[in-house]
Amino acid sequence: MLNSYSMFLTKMTSENFQFKSYIYQWNGSGVTGPALFTSASHQASIGDDREYVFSTTGLKLAPNTQYVAMLTVDGAPNNAFGTMMPIVANTTYSGGSFVFTNTNAFGGNWDCGEQCNFGDAWLKASFSAAVPETATWGMMIAGFGVVGAALRTRRRSIRIASAA
């Protein structure tokens, strides 16, 4: 289960802008299905250089499945130009990778350049083990009750047999 994750922005423009974060399933070249998580809108402020934390409140993730966490300014004015996500290319999670798509007509695809010299990855995540659902707890308690009843019946049978 994903409890929360953080993404980092270094703001190099004097304009404020709104953005959201999303989590989708990933097929290696694009998102699949609906958004699994959508954050509230956040505002990057002048001179902002900080970590943004997104609480997913226990988002269930399937094993052996790829996911992508992203920030978007889709629908926002172009004043988000001049903002970067600092990363270190070799600090991804085990089996993870960094994905970037530049959809602006004036720019090419992202390349790492000097921005890979930062000391921290641009994504941090907090995971926990899945908590059994209420139905699972109910079946487990019912199972204990059946085992207890069977043992009680067996003890009575043994007492009757030994008394005879």
Give the tens place of pLDDT for each residue, 121-136.
Answer: 466 677 677 666 666 7
Q: Which residues contact 59 (CB under 8 A, 6 or more apart)?
A: 1, 2, 3, 23, 36, 37
Residues 55, 26 within the same domain: yes
Residues 110, 152 within the same domain: no
Residues 48, 97 within the same domain: yes
Residues 123, 137 within the same domain: no
Residues 66, 120 within the same domain: yes
Residues 16, 67 within the same domain: yes
Residues 62, 88 within the same domain: yes
Residues 42, 60 within the same domain: yes
Q: Would you say the pTM of this structure is higher than 0.85? A: no
Q: What is the pLDDT of residues 40-73, one digit of tens each?
A: 888 776 666 677 888 998 888 888 888 888 877 7
Q: How far apart are CA 23 and CA 38, in angstroms?
A: 7
Domain boundaries, position 144? 133-164
